[in-house]
Amino acid sequence: MSNTTAEDPINPDWLNKGDNAWQLTAASLVALQSVPGLVVLYAGWVKHKWAINSAFMAFYAFSMVLLCWVVYAYKAAFGEQMLPFVGRPGPAIGMDYQLRQSVIPAGDLTQNFPQSTMVYFQFVFAAITLVLIAGSYLCRMNFFAWMLFVPLWLTFSYVVGAFSIWGGGFLFQMGVIDYSGGYVIHLSAGTAGFVGAWWIGPRTEEDLEDNHPNNILMMLVGAGILWIGWNGFNGGDPYAASPDAGAAVLNTNICTAVSSLVWVAMDLAYFRKPSVIGAIQGMITGLVAITPAAGVVAGWGAIALGVGSGTIPWVSMNIAGRRLSIFSHVDDTLEVFHTHFVGALVGGIGTGLFATSAGCAAFGITNPGGAIDGNGKQVWLQIVGALFIIGWNIVWTSLIMCFIKYVLRVPLRMTQEQLDVGDYAVHGEEPYTFAHYNIKHPTPPLMKRRTTKKGDEETPRGAVLMGTNPAETIEKSSSGGSVGKKEDSNVAVSTGAQPIDE
């Protein structure tokens, strides 16, 4: 039964069901970028002993940000103005608030879907920002310090950038363009990641020397989720199922593909080998660079940004990153500075160059395009916006780290034992384990091999103990020795540990 009054709670006059459906879909795509996207990507990118800790840092951030977001942070970022750079914090969980029409009061903007949809959509952006920062701190940050860092950084850094550029703050009023988070998300994450990594300190020498990813195929799965999820990231920011949403999605994929291909070409030219990890890095920089520009540039602008994001961050990572002393003093685990900080600058300044007046109008802003349309002032506005985000994050990330370390007395780094052992020491868990299997079977069962003679039956002589050298096992069996001898040693090998000499 439907109510036919003017205040119909089911079908209010302001509701556009298509816009609401697309906005919820876009938000869900962005959420998938974090969980499982970056959770899986991080778990595969680090060495074996840090897979669980790295994934859990991302998983925790997603949960904690949501709680803070609905209790006070959303209104600080998108509510009524309190200061030129931040709104008045407050809860966004009342049913009367969630069901009303979405509005950004400081920006004098309304949307044709409910406030609850907007709260969730903006939450997934806030969450992925903290998850990206985690990429700089992996493999040594004390998990308890991370638990404190997430709500503090969200409160004192993220909401300020979001309000200033998106929520109607002073950068919004100046005309800085950040279509979907090149500055609010990626430049912030790149800055905070680099600064925080300096405060935490580097990984152990062992982890620095042996830092090979434990599962590159898992990385590709996470990267694929990240790429496709970005359709919601950029396609949802017109706040409507509009023509500009379609342009943003298309440009996102164009730039990303070009950037990844250019990065691979750079690897081929310099290292003589095409790298899968390089292709993923190029994909990420392409996604980052198109984010501030997605719906305001034309397709050729997306191609130009793809070329820029496939070359400039590559040079930053592979040339400057190896030669400049500052990078040798900061251990940025997953190179978040190069992919997100540098990539965001490429995209943000590129927006000032390549934004079109038609794209701006389709997005609903009054900017007369960028330098390509005769508005060179936009380049300087983009630089001003970047400088504010960088400066604010340098200061507040440092203050938060000092507060955790010196005031709360919570160490920023894990203990030496945790650093040496990894996941099991921190969480009591391992990513890949045969522990339960070995408890059930103290002596691992035999994996039988076919004998050389087709007519022979399979015998213990053809059996191979799991985790051992087949030749050694067969030799011991044929010489009359018991396959079950050195039980503890064989169990250790099957679980990935080193056997203990008797």
**In whole numbers, what is the pLDDT of the chain averaged over residues?**
88
- 342-391 pLDDT, tens per residue? 999 999 999 999 999 999 999 999 999 999 999 999 999 999 999 999 99
Query: What was the pLDDT predicted at 432?
Result: 79
Query: What was the pLDDT predicted at 447?
Result: 41
The residue with greater pLDDT, 142 or 447, is 142
Q: What is the mean pLDDT of residues 152-175?
A: 97
Q: How far apart are CA 359 and CA 363, in angstroms?
A: 6
Q: What is the mean pLDDT of residues 408-417?
A: 96
Residue 394: phi and psi, rounded to 5, are -60, -45
CB 460 within 8 A of CB 473: no
Whether 194 has a pLDDT exceeding 70, the answer reads yes
- How does residue 497 score in pLDDT terms, banded at 50, 70 and 90? very low
Q: How far apart are the first and last CA of the chain?
A: 78
Alpha-helical (H) ranges within 184-329 are 188-200, 205-209, 216-235, 243-271, 276-290, 299-315, 321-323, 325-328
Q: How far apart are CA 229 and CA 235, in angstroms?
A: 10
Q: How far apart are CA 463 and CA 449, in angstroms?
A: 6
Q: How far apart are CA 240 and CA 235, in angstroms?
A: 9
Q: Which segments of the chain belong to CATH 1.10.3430.10?
A: 17-421
Distance from the Cα of residue 259 to its chain's centroid: 18
The residue with greater pLDDT, 166 or 492, is 166
Angle between helices 188-200 and 377-402 (to 10 degrees): 30
Q: Which two tokens stand for residue 264?
A: 């691979």
Q: How far apart are CA 302 and CA 77, in angstroms?
A: 29
Q: What is the mean pLDDT of residues 19-34?
A: 97
Percent of the chain with pLDDT over 90: 80
Query: What was the pLDDT predicted at 431?
Result: 84
- 370-382 pLDDT, tens per residue? 999 999 999 999 9
Q: How far apart are CA 142 and CA 200, in angstroms?
A: 9
Q: Which two tokens stand for residue 242?
A: 């509009």
Q: What is the mean pLDDT of residues 396-408?
A: 98
Q: Which CATH class for the 17-421 domain?
A: mainly alpha
Q: How far apart are CA 21 and CA 171, in angstroms?
A: 30
3-state secondary structure string, 45-97? HCCHHHHHHHHHHHHHHHHHHHHHHHHHHHHHHHCCEEECCEECCCCCCCHHH
Q: How far apart are CA 174 and CA 444, in angstroms?
A: 69
- 426-475 pLDDT, tens per residue? 998 888 776 555 555 454 444 444 444 444 444 443 433 334 443 444 34
